[in-house]
Structure 1
């Protein structure tokens, strides 16, 4: 049978066939994209499974680690880079301290810290690797096969970590053992490629992706443990205790040991808050400050999503340092003469749970992005707890001290500052004043609504300074044209 079509019917048929053909192509591409999506869905973060045993006599960690790494880029990866931060403590010239800090950092003289990589395995065989970087603190691992976008691979490592006798972030003193930035952690791959910056002396030299952690820690039973994540079980065997810990959707994993800890705890909604302190002075107060801080920041920015938060008095001469679910506080602040400083530092480090731990950024290239927000959040804590007069006094002091002593811009990397004093004045103080100016310009409703939106949209992600600048441009604010400290 032959059917003859008129011109209009022929056009309609050709149009229908074209649509069918285009739809077929589109669905084919969609199915390919869905395959990548399926591989990532529900498991789109790297997973670190680590067994670590602490040798108290040698101050040595013996570790076995498996990382499930997912290629979230649009490129094939031939190799993966890891930070191995302990090697920044290998030599005196590497040590991440300024000259005027050395005696405080090493009260008993310089002490080596390092990581020895003993084995690197893929699925089938040993992987080629090399130690590189100006401080020998980057590990390059060549993969068995190219890792395509959306694919994952497993890398198994065995290594030892030697702790230095240092009272900075990493090391041990008379009271605590600070085990931070201790394991091989994958470098971030962003639109600039691999970020393999070294452990700098100024600022917080870290940049990492959100990951999941399953960590088994075996330590002498006389020690108490403060840790990132949630302790799922404890098993005591003779003189040691094995802790099984799970930390999901966190940017890093840290733990601190002491045989002198006192511990208090309280709850806020679903979060258990801990205060680890070394004597009876102000341990209870630090717990209350931690709780008050969480209340203030929950209300201002959005809910803290984790089940635990610990404030830990530490051998740490710098003041305070943030890690996911855990902050280190200089134990010397726990005295009556330093009550205000203790409160300020605890509130500041708690604010970092929002700005850097949850909303991440490159702390070397753009340190202002988390520190300015964190410093201003600290001032907001005092405003909400003690009233506007206290806030105004803090802002006035910042203006007086900052503009008398510094003319530098806040929009610089840590490597561009001469010293930590200049860094602090610009990044912390000027940054806080800049945010106060923005608040005065747009009003409280818009200011806090914008920060809540920023937090909600970027939780568990890494952001850039341009993203933060652009959200204020949408509100009619050009950050480049605002003069710090002037309303």
Structure 2
């Protein structure tokens, strides 16, 4: 009887193993977007990009076909695209060539980037574009009778030159960083298109969510990555990104990946060696699970965490974060964890809920500092939180800052990165800490509702204040003015 029972048990175990084998997500399978993400994506503008990377000539060929809808209440005489890559053509306009950043971003001396623009058509009719700025980041296209509710198709061809540069748009050590380099529709507000300069400090990008269909051709020895999983067939890499604010890509000549599942999301860590691929894996999993519970579900099926040769600690894109390779060394585990936690928080405060990063940088950076600090408390205890808060909040509150510079200042007000970080990150997070004390720890309840209300939208400061008052049943504008708009 025991033998028969054992045989049955073994048979059942084998059957369960077979089912598990088929039910377990395959490493290279394409994760499916959620119904909520597909619903958000349905009415959006769409970009189709055909990209060809030529590493030998440091060039990226770009063919764009985009469908835009006039979502405003007036007839538009033109369309403005932001072509941020143009700024890299000259040291006078490159955001990486400021006195503070030059040596960090151009260790081999200045390297020219930029682009050459070819055919531009609107609804299959050739148009003559103009640039508003010397940096060639504001591309204005004339359009006839683009009325509210109508759609138009914009097509163009351009060739980007990728500089030897440790910035968002650059290449180094066999890694190509292709961030904020593809043309993207500007934001239209109060009767005009946004034409903010490519500032050297902060993230000067403001964009609505859209859908991206990407097709990439490149030499066989290279592997591309983006905010989704590429399918590779017939020499082409293809993917679709739903409801993202922009599409960034990385291309590695040599790469190692590792992946893990967390709450239904596939986390993929990328690096040039095994250590870089594996070291942040568990950190990213714990961070994602905490933020899911605290601020609501992560919206995308994949989260990429990439180690890159970079002049900064980290950079965020929808569904993808970049982490500087220098944080993967010995003795830097805490710095790596804090950077990963801060950048992943941007998936809620920037990617999911957008804001005006040029005029109100606190509205994503301070919120991400707050989220990172609360993750540390949940993961490592009150003592670790208190020690970190003294460094990241209390110390910035004691710094001497120029008169008129506050967390509510736009990014072009700041003289250097230290001033920007102290004020926007540190003092901005102090505002949220003060709110948390005043409300007996209810700030995360507010932020969860803020995310729910403004998911896939651009939230204004007024949206922030209204949601805060609704959740807390109290007008907190006086406290916000005290922290965000008052010099200390």
Same fold (TM over 0.5): yes
Alignment of structure 1 residues 42-81 onto 2, 5 Å: 43-81=42-80
CA-to-aligned-CA distance 1:267-290 (integer Å, 9 cap, x gap): 123311101022233532301111
Aligned to 2:103: 103
- The match for 1:225 is 224
Secondary structure of 2:87 counterpart: helix
Render the CA deviation track for 1:226-279: whole Å, top value 9, x for unaligned. Answer: 212332x2125xxxx311110010100011011221100111233111010222
Distance in 2 between residues matched to 1:123 and 1:224, nearest whole Å: 34
Instruction: After superposition, give the CA deviation of every residue in 1:180-226 in whole Å (9 maximum; x if it has no partner).
Output: 11111000112363111121111011100100000101111211222
> 1:323-342 counterparts in 2 under 5 A?
323-342=317-336
Are the equivalent residues in 1 in contact too, given 2:63–2:156 (CA < 8 A)? yes
Closer/same/farther in 2, CA of residues 121 and 308 from structure 1, 3 Å limit: same
Report the counterpart of residue 478 of structure 1 in structure 2: 476
| Residue aligned with 1:50, SS | strand
Report the Cα offset of residue 337 of structure 1: 1.6
Separation (CA, whole Å) in 2 of partners of 1:338 and 1:278: 18
Q: Corresponding residue for 2:423?
A: 426
Q: Name the CA distance, whole Å, in 1 between partners of 2:333 and 2:191.
A: 44
Native 8 Å contact 1:281 1:335 kept in 2: no
Q: Secondary structure at the match of 1:306?
A: coil
Q: How far apart, CA to CA, are the structure 2 residues paired with 1:139 and 1:336?
A: 45
Partner-residue secondary structure (3-state), 2:212: strand
- Give me the TM-score of the superposition, normalised by structure 1: 0.87
SS in 2 for 1:61: strand
Equivalences, count: 439
Secondary structure of residue in 2 paired with 1:57: helix
The 1:58–1:265 alpha-carbon spacing in structure 2 relative to 1, beyond 3 Å, is same
Alpha-carbon deviation of 1:41?
Answer: 10
Q: What is the aligned partner in structure 2 of residue 283 from structure 1? A: 277
Q: CA deviation at 1:472?
A: 2.5
Distance 2:333 2:272 in 1: 16
Any conservation in 1 of the 2:72–2:148 contact (CA below 8 Å)? yes
* Equivalences for residues 144-155 of structure 1 within 5 A: 145-155=144-154
SS in 2 for 1:461: coil
What is the DSSP-based 3-state SS (H/G/I as helix, E as strand, rest coil) of the residue aligned with 1:329?
Answer: strand
Q: Residue 19 of structure 1 corresponds to which residue in structure 2?
A: none
Corresponding residue of 1:449: 445
Instruction: Write the distance in 2 (CA, Å) between the matches of 1:41 and 1:142.
Output: 29
- Give deviations 1:387-410, integer Å, cap 9, x for gaps: 122112211223442123234421
Helix, strand or coil: the match of 1:100?
A: coil
CA distance in 2, matches of 1:51, 1:426: 41
TM-score, with normalisation over the residues of structure 2? Answer: 0.87
Distance 1:399 1:51 in 2: 45
- Paired residues of 2:299 and 2:352 also in contact (CA < 8 A): no
Q: Deviations over 1:358-400 (max 9, x none)?
A: 1001111110100010111111111111112211221122344
**Partner secondary structure for residue 115 of structure 1:** strand
Q: Does the C-alpha gap of structure 1 residues 90 and 139 become closer, same or farther in structure 2, counting only changes over 3 Å? A: same
Conserved in 2, the CA contact under 8 Å of 1:406 and 1:425?
no
Q: Of 227, 251, 264, which residue of structure 1 is paired with 2:245?
A: 251
1:235 equivalenced with 2:229 (yes/no): no
Task: Please state how far the C-alpha of 1:118 moved relative to its aligned partner.
Answer: 0.1
Q: Structure 1, unaligned stretches of length 5 or more? A: 1-39
Classify 1:340/1:130 alpha carbon distance in 2 versus 1 (closer, same or farther; 3 Å).
same
Displacement of 1:470? 2.7
Maintained 8 Å contact 2:40/2:456: no
- Written as runs of structure 1 = structure 2, the 5 A alignment for 1:361-372 is 361-372=355-366
The aligned counterpart of 1:14 is none
Which of 1 and 2 has greater Rg? 1
CA distance in 1, matches of 2:393, 2:319: 32
Q: Mark the runs of 5 or more structure 2 residues left unpaired by the alignment.
A: 1-38
Residues 409-451 of structure 1: CA distance to partner in whole angstroms, max 9, x if unpaired? 211000111211111101001111110111111123x322221
Mark the CA change 1:234 to 1:362 in structure 2 (over 3 Å): closer, same or farther.
Answer: same
Map 1:313-392 → 2, pairs under 5 A: 313-392=307-386
Matched with 1:10 is: none
Q: Does 1:118 align with 2:112?
A: no
